[in-house]
């Protein structure tokens, strides 16, 4: 178990833009070994089982000035995906735990994508500059990294808490249901 805990402290999340195949986040998508198709490095002599989740959140849009002036809902322009060809997992006795942790990481990324969509919706004004989202994106990235770091720290000390964290993330995702990729937020009155 100490090997798993050490692993949690060193995992990373890629914000890479290039991928051969991307699979977008969906509510019912459960990560399995088939989502880790990249070639894993050989297990080091320490015997620590490792994985790498190549997942990203990206935001991009292309529209004319007039359309941009009146656009308020940017939900469909914020994507969360995994690149199975770049993700890898070493075989070993902790595969189930690593899959659970990878799922937690992927769902956390979707939670922060929804927070970003909400922030875009609330902060976009009619005469906003086309770069208005840059600062919001940077802040969400920082918040995500901080949350992930706290999760890792807790799970190193208390690996049995993964179910509690997963439930909290799932609940928070549901609470932001207006900000799913294909959703239209309700207008404020």
pLDDT at 13: 38
pLDDT band at 114 (very low <50, low <70, confident <90, very high): very high
What does the mean pLDDT of the chain come to? 87
Higher pLDDT, 34 or 131: 34
User: Could you tell me the sign of the dihedral formed by the alpha carbons of 103, 106, 111, 114, in that order?
Assistant: negative
Of the candidates 94, 112, 159, the residue with the CA atom closest to the CA atom of residue 13: 112
pLDDT band at 1 (very low <50, low <70, confident <90, very high): very low
Average pLDDT over residues 136-161: 95
At 32-91, the pLDDT tens digits run 999 999 998 876 667 788 999 999 999 998 888 888 888 899 999 999 999 999 999 998
Higher pLDDT, 103 or 129: 103
Q: What is the pTM of this model?
A: 0.85
């Amino acid at each position: 178990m100490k090997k798993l805990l050490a692993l949690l402290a060193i995992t990373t999340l890629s914000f890479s833009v290039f991928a051969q195949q991307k699979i977008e986040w969906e509510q019912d998508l459960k990560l399995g070994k088939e989502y880790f198709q990249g070639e894993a490095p050989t297990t080091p002599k320490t015997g620590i089982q490792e994985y790498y989740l190549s997942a990203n959140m990206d935001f991009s849009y292309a529209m004319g000035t007039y359309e941009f002036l009146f656009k308020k809902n940017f939900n469909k322009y914020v994507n969360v995906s995994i690149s199975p060809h770049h993700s890898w997992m070493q075989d070993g006795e902790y595969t189930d735990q690593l899959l659970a942790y990878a799922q937690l990481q992927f769902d956390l990324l979707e939670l922060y994508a929804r927070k970003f969509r909400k922030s875009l919706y609330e902060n976009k004004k009619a005469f906003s500059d086309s770069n208005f989202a840059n600062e919001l994106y940077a802040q969400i990235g920082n918040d995500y990294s901080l949350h992930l770091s706290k999760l890792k720290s807790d799970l190193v000390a208390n690996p049995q808490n993964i179910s509690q964290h997963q439930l909290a993330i799932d609940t928070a995702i549901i609470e932001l249901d207006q900000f799913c990729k294909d959703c239209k937020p309700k207008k404020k009155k």
